[in-house]
Amino acid sequence: MSIKVAHVLWSGSFGGMTRAVYQLIRAQVEQSTYEPVLVLAKGGNHYFESLKEFGVRVIDLGLDSDKQFYRAGAIAKMLSEFDIHHFHATELTMAAASVLSRGATRVFTNRTGYMQHSGKQRMRYAIAGWYLRNYFHGFSGNTFHACRAGERLFGIPIDRWQVTYNGLEFGLHDAHRERADILAELGLPDDGAMLIGTAAQLRGQKRVDMLIDACALLPHDSFRLIILGSGPAQASLEVLARDRGIADRTLFAGEKTHAGEFINHMDAFILASTEFESFGNAAVEAMYHSVPTIVCNDSPGLLEHVRDGETGFAVSSADDMYARLDELRNDPELGARIGGNARAFITSSYTLPRMIAAYNDLYRVAQERSANNR
């Protein structure tokens, strides 16, 4: 008899976590003995709508906030049919409901790096840590960095954590559109300019400002900067692009359903995130598309994929980033070599079978610990 797994996520908003959970659930349907179901606290998107078409049950609880504890009892009844409750974020109401659903094995995967919190957020993480330490049986991070961050954020010893790298269903990321078609959709001329891009939620920890500063040092007409994504920092980033004199070379393209189609035609991809980033799905997808990828030296999770000068570049400042971009602009063979190395690394390291094996082991350890605690 198959074991039922409830994957718990706050929402289906666009982002790397959403894509990673989507691919995990699809892979479990095809390659494991587990029967996955997705439980969303709030809303969904096209990824999760397609899971329904794939035969996966998607439950939308319609929560308005993470503090609707009065609904925990009703949610617990719904969760009671599942053997494993797999949390991909620290949702407090959902955690309380899971605890009320006695007999379940509870697993948490940390998908973020480290960031200092204060005030209400600090209190929230303290409460989440209490739930995790006292009622959860298995812990993983989607990078070594995520495991270390989980230790710091939640007070769970590092030896309790397992690494469960994301796996990519490579066929889902293959691009089929021509460069001219992509440029036409973006309203850009096909003038041979270097296409430099990023894909991220526009927040401070993504450091898109560093990318704008770096591009401003390039010859003005030599590049186009394409920024995929949206977020609270967009207005200030638009002002920065104007102040740096490159507003006419910078396009804020918004969120794209199939971002890989756009990333595939970039000549360089940058994810300048702080240590808040863990896996960095957008960077990994760019590497899969053989696009030379630049990250920052102080982002340990991204450095688990990007080896400076081999599978990408690691920089420490806007000046360093500019130097690498200018080097790539003047040396297409360098970009081709780095991009080829990156694709080879990704396709050998982040396969679906390796991901499934890692999660199978996580579930096994958690179920053994859960049984011993009864």
Q: Do 362 and 250 fall into the same domain?
A: no
Residues 259-289 have pLDDT tens digits of: 999 999 999 999 999 999 999 999 999 999 9
Q: Do 345 and 356 fall into the same domain?
A: no
Cα 163 to Cα 241: distance, rounded to the nearest angstrom: 39
Q: What pLDDT, on the 0 to 100 scale, is given for residue 287?
A: 98
Q: Do 119 and 178 fall into the same domain?
A: no
**pLDDT higher than 70, residue 13:** no
Q: Do 17 and 107 fall into the same domain?
A: yes
Query: Residue range 126-148: average pLDDT?
Result: 97
Q: Do 153 and 240 fall into the same domain?
A: no
Sheet (strand 58-60) strand order: 58-60, 34-42, 3-11, 84-87, 105-110, 138-141, 161-163
State the Rg of the chain over Cα.
Answer: 21
Q: What pLDDT, on the 0 to 100 scale, is given for residue 172?
A: 76
Residues 68-127 have pLDDT tens digits of: 898 999 999 999 999 999 999 988 999 999 999 989 999 999 999 988 777 888 899 999
Give me the phi and psi of 162, to 5 degrees please.
-120, 145
Q: Do 110 and 197 fall into the same domain?
A: no
Q: What pLDDT, on the 0 to 100 scale, is given for residue 116?
A: 79
Q: Do 65 and 193 fall into the same domain?
A: no
Q: What pLDDT, on the 0 to 100 scale, is given for residue 374?
A: 66
Q: Do 301 and 229 fall into the same domain?
A: yes
Q: What pLDDT, on the 0 to 100 scale, is given for residue 324?
A: 99
Q: Do 46 and 150 fall into the same domain?
A: yes
Cα 105 to Cα 78: distance, rounded to the nearest angstrom: 15
**Predicted confidence band of residue 12 (pLDDT cuts 50, 70, 90):** low
Query: Residue range 24-40: average pLDDT?
Result: 92
**pLDDT higher than 60, residue 20:** yes
**Predicted confidence band of residue 19 (pLDDT cuts 50, 70, 90):** confident
User: Of 71, 72, 139, which Cα lies nearest the Cα of 110?
Assistant: 139
Q: Do 221 and 343 fall into the same domain?
A: yes
CA angle 369, 372, 374 (to 5 degrees): 115
Q: Do 206 and 331 fall into the same domain?
A: yes
Contact call for residues 100 and 76 (beta carbons, < 8 A): yes
Residues 218-263 have pLDDT tens digits of: 999 999 999 999 999 999 999 999 999 999 999 999 999 889 999 9
Residues 291-348 have pLDDT tens digits of: 999 999 999 999 999 999 999 999 999 999 999 999 999 999 999 999 999 999 999 9
Q: What pLDDT, on the 0 to 100 scale, is given for residue 335?
A: 98
**pLDDT higher than 70, residue 44:** no
The domain in which residue 80 lies consists of 3-167+351-373
More confident residue, 111 or 64: 111
Q: What pLDDT, on the 0 to 100 scale, is given for residue 1?
A: 63
Q: What pLDDT, on the 0 to 100 scale, is given for residue 17?
A: 84
Q: What pLDDT, on the 0 to 100 scale, is given for residue 219?
A: 98
More confident residue, 350 or 49: 350
Contact call for residues 106 and 143 (beta carbons, < 8 A): no
Q: What pLDDT, on the 0 to 100 scale, is given for residue 275?
A: 96
Q: What pLDDT, on the 0 to 100 scale, is given for residue 322?
A: 99
Q: What pLDDT, on the 0 to 100 scale, is given for residue 174?
A: 84
Q: Which residue has the tokens 């007409």?
A: 221
**pLDDT higher than 60, residue 14:** no
Q: Do 130 and 230 fall into the same domain?
A: no
Domain count, the chain: 2
Q: At 210, which CATH number?
A: 3.40.50.2000
Query: Residue range 167-172: average pLDDT?
Result: 87
